[in-house]
Amino acid sequence: MSTSTTVEYDRPPAYDWLTPSPREQVGWDVDVLYGPWPRHHRDASLAEVHRRLDRSPVCGALALSTRGPLFDDRAGNEETLRDLADCPELLPVGTVDVRDAMTAEDRLDELAAAGVRFLRLFTVEQAADPGFPGYRRVVDLALARGMVLLHDGDPRRYGPPLMDRGADVVFLDLHAYLLADFLLMAREEPGFRVTTRMLSGPDSVERVVHAVGARHLVFGSRTPFMDISPLTLRLRYADISDDERDAIATRNIEELLS
């Protein structure tokens, strides 16, 4: 019995993917939240985000407090800036209440003064359709300030109103089933990007890279509400070049930050 146990411990890992690979290294994850969320009954504290990132191949992230989209945009932005002030590996993302576009200009000025480059829109939670005046006003103000939009919702609905405006937009919720529609828009819009989170099809990453180029894809995981490992493994095993992999994992976001 003791001999058998020794053999078990001496064996190499059963699967290659259990051994970390440089191909899984990620510079920036654009889709990270912290704080309570009604649908997710799990630890979503900032400490838990740190714990998950520390145990992953992800080096840095763009993050914000859920207080902003769910309760109070001003207080949420202040909380995000305060909490992340001493965390260089976490860059603050701002938000506004799309339902109250009358106050959006003040919120965006506050974010710009604080050096916040990314604005996350929660149109699903705040029930804002692309044709609503408030949505159009918020987008106008954000683009006028040169902000990058981290955009939820269906890109087939929100993408067309953002075309022909020189907008930098990262769509956070694109499902693999809808990929063809995104690719048609991305052919015409150099600023349109999508995250890896829901591109779980066997060739989705490759389709984006081969159809419109790696610059249209960035890494996003929605930590801590989703597991990081399936997404880093998908990037590791994607049939793309190391240069394309580095662009998706790191370089595309660093270009937006510069």
Structure tokens at 149: 């939009």
Q: Report the alpha-carbon distance of residue 126 to residue 66 in Å, rounded.
A: 13
Model confidence over 188-227: pLDDT tens digits? 999 999 999 999 888 999 999 999 999 999 999 999 999 9
Between CA 116 and CA 46, with CA 172 as vertex, the angle to 5 degrees is 60
Question: What is the structure's pLDDT at 19?
Answer: 83
Task: Say which DSSP state 247 is in.
Answer: I
One-letter amino acid identity for 154? D
- Sign of the C-alpha dihedral computed for residues 185, 136, 195 and 201 taken in this order: negative
User: pLDDT at position 7, please?
Assistant: 53
* Percent of the chain surpassing pLDDT 90: 87
DSSP per position, 186-234: HTT-TTEEEESTT--STTHHHHHHHHH-GGGEE----BTTS-SHHHHHH
Asked if residue 128 is part of any domain, the answer here is yes
Q: What is the pLDDT of residue 85?
A: 96
Q: Looking at the domain assignment, is residue 8 inside a domain?
A: no
Residue 157 in tokens: 């609905």
Q: Let me know if residue 224 belongs to a domain.
A: yes
**3 within a domain of the structure (yes/no):** no
pTM, to two decimals: 0.92
Distances (CA, A) of 26 to 59, 68, 209, 210, 229: 6, 26, 17, 21, 11
What residue ranges of the chain have pLDDT lower than 70?
1-9
5 occurs within a structural domain: no
Q: In what side-by-side order are the strands of the sheet with 58-65? A: 26-34, 58-65, 90-92
Whose structure tokens read 């937009």?
169
The answer to whether position 164 is within a domain reads: yes
Rounded to 5, what percent of the chain is helix, strand, coil?
A: 50, 15, 35
Q: How many domains does the chain fold into?
A: 1
- Assign residue 159 the CATH number of its domain: 3.20.20.140
Cβ neighbours of 210 (radius 10 Å): 14
Q: Which domain holds residue 221?
A: 24-257
How high is the pLDDT of residue 1?
42
- The answer as to whether 9 is a domain residue is no
